[in-house]
Structure 1
Amino acid sequence: MQIVRRAPAAAGQWPAQVPALLQRVYEARGALDLDSAQPRLAQLLEPARLQGMDAAVQLLATAIAQHKRILVVGDFDCDGATATALAVRGLRMLGAGNVVHAVPNRIEHGYGLSVGLVAELAALQPDLLVTVDHGIACLPGVTAAKALGWQVLVTDHHLAGAQLPPADAIVNPNQPGCGFPSKVLAGVGVMFYVLLALRAHLRAAGAFADGKGPDLGVLLDLVAVGTVADLVPLDANNRALVAAGLRRLRAGQGCVGLQALIATSRREAHKLSASDIGFALGPRINAAGRLEDMALGIELLLSDDPRQAQDIAQTLEEINSERRAVQQQMTDEAESAVAKAQLGTAEVPMAACLFDADWHPGVVGLVASKMKDRLYRPVIAFAPAEPGSTMLRGSARSIAGFHIRDALAAVNAAQPRLMEKFGGHAMAAGLSLPLEHLAAFTAAFQAEAARTLQPHQLQAQLLSDGELAEGEYSAGHARALRAAGPWGQGFEEPLFDGCFVVAQWKVLKERHLKLVLRTPGGASLNAIWFGGWQGNAPSERMRIAYRLAEDDFRGGDAIQLMVEYAEPA
C-alpha cells in the first residue's frame, strides 16, 4: 500500500460560508464552485438527450392509453431491484393500470433476459416487456420475446456488444451513438430518466387534470440506493440524484421498505450517508439475490405496509448474516488457494482466476472483490452455476487502468468458443463458461492482463487530501465534511494523512486497535482502526491515513480519526 497525496488543484470561486478545508477537498475533485460541488436537481441533464427516448416514451404512452399489460423484468442485484420497484411504482403513478414484474433467479436462470426466462414469463401474457438494468447484451432473450409477439423496451447502462438486441426501443447512455454526456447512470437512474420523459410527454398531451402530473421526486430514495449500491461513479448528475434521495431518507420520507431496512440495520435515518447505503442497505437488499430470490427484495421496496416491510427487512437481515458467513468461508478458502499457488510472490501472474467446486455462485463477486483488494490484481472468482453443474459462473473485479469488460472481449475475440457469454463495466464483469474451458480461459485472461498491465499499476494507492492543520481537528469540520457529500466512486470521501506519536493503544475484540495519538502540535486525538490488529504492537511513530469523524460514543464536540492504513513513520 502506498499513500499518495493529491496534486494541487486549481482554485475555485466560493462563498464565504464554505470552510477552507472543504474548498480544498472540492477543488481536488475538480469541483470549482458550489454548483459543481453540490449539484441540484435543476441542473440535471435533459432526458431528451438520451438516444431512443422518443421511441421508449411512445411505447409506454401507447401501452398506458390502450390498457396493455406491461411486464417489468429486473436484475437480481440492488440496482436491478430498485430499478424494478421504481419502474412499477412510477408507471402506476403515471396511469398504467396493468403493471406486473419479474426477476430472474440467479441459479435457475442466470443473468439477464434468457430464452428460458422468456418461456416462463409467457404465462403472464405481457403486451410490452420492459427490461431494467439489463437487456443490452440479451440478444437471444429479446429475440425470443419478439417471437412471442411482445413489444420490448430495453433500459440498461451496461456496455453493448457487437450487435444490439432487436428491441422496439433501447435507452442506454452507453449504446453506440448516444450523445448523453453522462455515461455513468446506474440502471435505476436510466429508468428514472424514462419516467421523467414519459411524464413530460403525458403532460404535454393533457393527460393530467392538474396540468402537472405526479411528483416523481418521491422515487428518488430508490434512485439513491440503487446508484450508490451499484458503485457507479458519482459525477455531478449522479450526485444530484443521490443527494436528493438522501434528503428524503434523512427526513423519514423514504418508502416504507427502506425505512424498515434503515431501522433493522441500526442506522440513524437523520444521519444517513452514502456510505450507509453502500455498507448497510445495499448489502441487505443484495443478499436476497445472492442466496435466495431477489423477488423478496423487490417485495420490500414495493410494500406500503409497515408491518409487512418490517418482517421482510428482518428476513433480509437474517439472509445477510448467512451471506457474511458464506462469504467469510469462501474468502478463507480463496486465501488458502492463493497461498498454495504462491501468489503474492515475485512470480505472481498479472491476474488471478479462482475456483472451488463448493462455492456459491451468488457470493463469488464478493470473494473476487476481497481478493482483488488483497492481491491488487484483476481477479475472477468462479463457482458452479448450480450444485454439481459443469457450467461455471464467474464474477470479475478489476483495478484502475484495466478495463475488465474490454479484456474479456479481447479474450473472446481471440478464442470465441471459451466463454458462453460475458458482459459488464470497466471495473466489474460477469461471465459463464464450461468447466473444461477454465484452464484455457485462465491462461488467455492472464496473457491479456500481462499484455495490458505494467508492473507499477499493481501497487495499491490511497489518495490523500494531505495533512490537517491543528485547528482543523474539530467536530465542526467533521460535520461539514459529512454533509458535503454524497461521497463515493469518482468523488471519494475525504482522506487525510499525517505523522503521529502513538501515546496509547489497546486491542478490541481481538481484531481492532483503539489508539490515542499525539499530533506534532501536541494535541491528543482518539482513533480507531477496524481490523488493524495484526498481532504486533504499533510503532511509536506512525504515518496514518484517516478520515475525520464525529465521535458518536462520546457525543458533543468529540471527534475521532477513522484509520484506513498505517505504517511506521
Structure 2
Amino acid sequence: MSPLRRIRRRAEGASGAWPDHVLPLLRRVYAARGVSDFAAARPRLADLHAPDTLTGIAEAARMLADAIAAGRRIVVVGDFDCDGATACAVAVRGLLMLGARKVLHAVPNRIVHGYGLSPGLVDELAALGPELLVTVDHGIACHAGIAAAKARGWQVLVTDHHLPGPTLPAADVIVDPNLPGDVFPSKTLAGVGVIFYVLLALRGVLRARGAVDGAGPDLRMLLDLVAVGTVADLVALDANNRALVAAGLQRLRAGQGCAGLQALARVAGRDVSRLTAADIGYAIGPRLNAAGRLEDMSIGIECLLTDDPARALELAQLLDRINAERRGVQQTMVDEAEAAFAGRALDAMATADDPAVCLFDPEWHPGVVGLVASKLKERLHRPVVAFAPAEPGSRQLRGSARSIPGFHIRDALAAVDAAHPGLIGRFGGHAMAAGLSLDVDALADFEHAFRAHAARTLDAALLHAVIDSDGELAPHEFDHVHAEALRDGGPWGQAFPEPLFDGSFELLDARCVGQRHLRLRLRVPDRREPVDAIHFGGWDARPQASRVHLAYRLAPDDYRGNGAVQLVVEHLEPA
C-alpha cells in the first residue's frame, strides 16, 4: 500500500577544499546538499546567529531580568509534544541557573484543555499565583487565553516558532522568528531553540547588570534538551539548527545529558555513546510524545527535570509503557482507516488525481490522529487531515493535518478559513503539519472546501512520490569505515537528509524476520563478500525477483559488530 515511487539522483554539487580526513564519499554527499567546505558541513556553536536580531528578545530578556531581581513568581507553560516538553524543561532549568527563585511549570492536558494557553487553563493556573507567564512552543495563536491572563493582572511573555495569524495576541512581549518584519536569519528554530535564545539574551542582560558572577552559568548544559526538541519537531536543520543539535548530541554521547534523556535512551535500547539524530527521532522523541498523546505530558517534563537517576529511569520506563500502548492504538486506527478506504482502493488512490484526504472516526483518540495522518500521508503521498472527537462523545473535533513537499498545509487551512469564515474553530502549524478544531456538523463542508482548495492549488506532479538518491556506492565503500563516516557526518534530518543510495543487486536470499520485516542477502557487483540488508515492514509473502533495485542507507551493523555493515532498505523494486 504505497504510491508509485521514482528514484531521482541528486545533482552533483560544487566541492571546495576539505581536510584529508573527510572521505570522498562524504564530500560528495555534502556537495549534493549545497555544502562545499568543512565549516559549512559541521557548523559550531561559535557560528550561531546572534540573539539580538530576534524581534522582542531584548524586551523579553529585560522583563525576565526584572522578574528575577524582584523575586516574582514565574510560571512556564509548556505544550504537550516533545518540542514543548523540552522547551519547558530548558526554560525551568535555565531560569533557575540564572538566579530565578520562584519558577513553576504547567502544561495543558490535551483532552481537558486542548491546545495551548486556553482560558480554562488560565483559570487553573490561578492557584499557582503567577506574576509572569512564559509560554514555550505556543502562544502566537492563543488570543483568548492570553487575554484571560492579562485580565488577571499577569505579565505574559510568548516564546513561539509557529506562524502568526493576521493579528497578534495581546501579550506584553512576543519572541517568534516568524513575526512580520523579523530579520533573524534562521526561521526554522524549534520552540526549544527560541527559549534557548531568550536565555542567552537574558544572561547578557544579567551580565550587564552585574547580577551574575563572571560570564554567568554555562548554558551549553541545556543543549541536550535543545537537540532532542529540535530533531523531534522535524524543523529544517539549517546550519544554525545543525550547530545546536550537533552540540547537544556531543553532550549526550559524552554521558553529560540530563538524567531523563539518558534513561530514555537506555529503555529504548540505544547506546548513548553512539546516539544520532535518527535515534532521537525514532526512539527518544516518540516516548516523550506518547505521554502527551495518551496521558499527561507532565510525566515527560518531570522525567526531563529530575536529576535523580533512579527516578528518571522509573519515569522513562513508564513513558516506554505508554509508548507501547500508543503504538497499539495507532496501529488499530491505521487499520481502521485502511478498512474505511477499502472500497475506495487506497492503492488506486495513490495514483489517481484525488488530491487530498480527510478521515474521521468517532472512536479514535485525539492524541493519535496526527500519527494516523502521517502514516496515511506516507502511503498515499497526499495531504491528509485526520479527525477525532476532542473527548469521548464530544461534538467538537480535533484534527491533525500532514502534508507533502510543495503544499503548505497551514496556509491551506488559512485559505479555507478566509473563504469560509466560522467553518474552522482554531488552527495553526507549519508547512508540513498543522492542527485545527471543528464542529462535527461542519466536517462535510470542511472536507469539500479543503479538497477543492487542494485541487485548485496542488500541482499534480507533486502527487507522485520521488526518492532522492545520492547515487551508487563503489564496491570498496560497502565497509564499516564509510558507514561510520556517514552516520557521524550529520546531524541529518529535515532539509539536510540522511544519505541515501541506490543500485541493483543479485538477490541471494530473502526471508521474513519479526513477522513483518524482510531480511535480504545481496551480491554487490565487483565485490567478493555478500552484503546483508533489512527492509523494515517490507515482508509481503510474495516471491522476490532474482535481481532487485534498492534505495538504501549504509549503516554499521551494531548487532553483529566486528566491522559488519548492513543496508537499510527504503524502497525495493525488481531490477
TM-score normalised over the length of structure 1: 0.99
Q: How does 1:399-478 map to 2 (within 5 A)?
A: 399-478=404-483
Q: Which amino acid aligns with 2:80?
A: F
Q: Find the counterpart in structure 1 of residue 124 from structure 2.
A: 120
Q: Find the counterpart in structure 2 of residue 512 from structure 1.
A: 517
Q: Find the counterpart in structure 2 of residue 276 from structure 1.
A: 279
Structure 2 distance, partners of 1:97, 1:271, is 37
4+ long deviations beyond 4 Å: none
C-alpha contact 1:300 1:312 (8 A) present in aligned 2? yes
Q: Find the counterpart in structure 2 of residue 143 from structure 1.
A: 147
Q: Which amino acid aligns with 1:536?
A: R
Secondary structure of the corresponding residue to residue 112 of structure 2? helix
Shift of 1:349: 2.0
Aligned length: 568
Q: How does 1:300-311 map to 2 (within 5 A)?
A: 300-311=303-314
1:486 aligns to 2:491 (yes or no): yes
1:16 aligns to 2:20 (yes or no): yes
Q: Which amino acid aligns with 1:411?
A: V
1:261 aligns to 2:261 (yes or no): no
C-alpha contact 2:14 2:31 (8 A) present in aligned 1? yes
1:550 aligns to 2:575 (yes or no): no
TM-score normalised over the length of structure 2: 0.98
1:164 aligns to 2:168 (yes or no): yes
Q: Find the counterpart in structure 2 of residue 526 from structure 1.
A: 532
Q: Find the counterpart in structure 1 of residue 86 from structure 2.
A: 82
Shift of 1:347: 5.3
Secondary structure of the corresponding residue to residue 461 of structure 1? strand
Structure 2 distance, partners of 1:461, 1:536, is 24
Structure 2 distance, partners of 1:519, 1:67, is 67
Structure 2 distance, partners of 1:159, 1:452, is 20
Structure 1 distance, partners of 2:65, 2:513, is 59
C-alpha contact 1:327 1:367 (8 A) present in aligned 2? yes
Q: Which amino acid aligns with 2:431?
A: A
| Structure 2 stretches lacking a partner, 5+ long | none
1:234 aligns to 2:237 (yes or no): yes
Secondary structure of the corresponding residue to residue 520 of structure 1? coil
C-alpha contact 1:342 1:348 (8 A) present in aligned 2? no
Structure 2 distance, partners of 1:323, 1:150, is 37
C-alpha contact 2:188 2:236 (8 A) present in aligned 1? yes
Q: Deviations over 1:240-289 (max 9, x none)?
A: 00000001111111001111111111111101000000000000000000
Range with bigger deviation, 502-511 or 254-263: 502-511
Q: How does 1:56-95 map to 2 (within 5 A)?
A: 56-95=60-99
Q: Deviations over 1:117-168 (max 9, x none)?
A: 1111112111110000000011111111111111110000000000001111
Q: 1:249 aligns with which of 242, 249, 252?
A: 252
Q: Find the counterpart in structure 1 of residue 361 from structure 2.
A: 356
C-alpha contact 2:135 2:158 (8 A) present in aligned 1? yes
Q: Which amino acid aligns with 1:276?
A: D
Q: Deviations over 1:6-63 (max 9, x none)?
A: 0121222212221100000001111111111000000000000101011101110000
Q: Find the counterpart in structure 1 of residue 302 from structure 2.
A: 299
Secondary structure of the corresponding residue to residue 109 of structure 1? coil
Q: Find the counterpart in structure 1 of residue 221 from structure 2.
A: 218
Shift of 1:513: 1.6
Shift of 1:348: 5.3
Q: Deviations over 1:415-470 (max 9, x none)?
A: 01111110000000000000000000000000010011122111111110000011
Q: 2:380 aligns with which of 365, 375, 380?
A: 375
Range with bigger deviation, 66-75 or 333-342: 333-342
Q: Which amino acid aligns with 1:384?
A: P
Structure 1 distance, partners of 2:258, 2:182, is 33
C-alpha contact 2:510 2:521 (8 A) present in aligned 1? yes
Q: 1:100 aligns with which of 83, 100, 104?
A: 104
Structure 2 distance, partners of 1:5, 1:339, is 34
| Structure 1 stretches lacking a partner, 5+ long | none
Please report the RMSD computed on the Cα atoms of aligned residues, expressed in angstroms.
1.0
Shift of 1:503: 1.5
Secondary structure of the corresponding residue to residue 137 of structure 1? coil
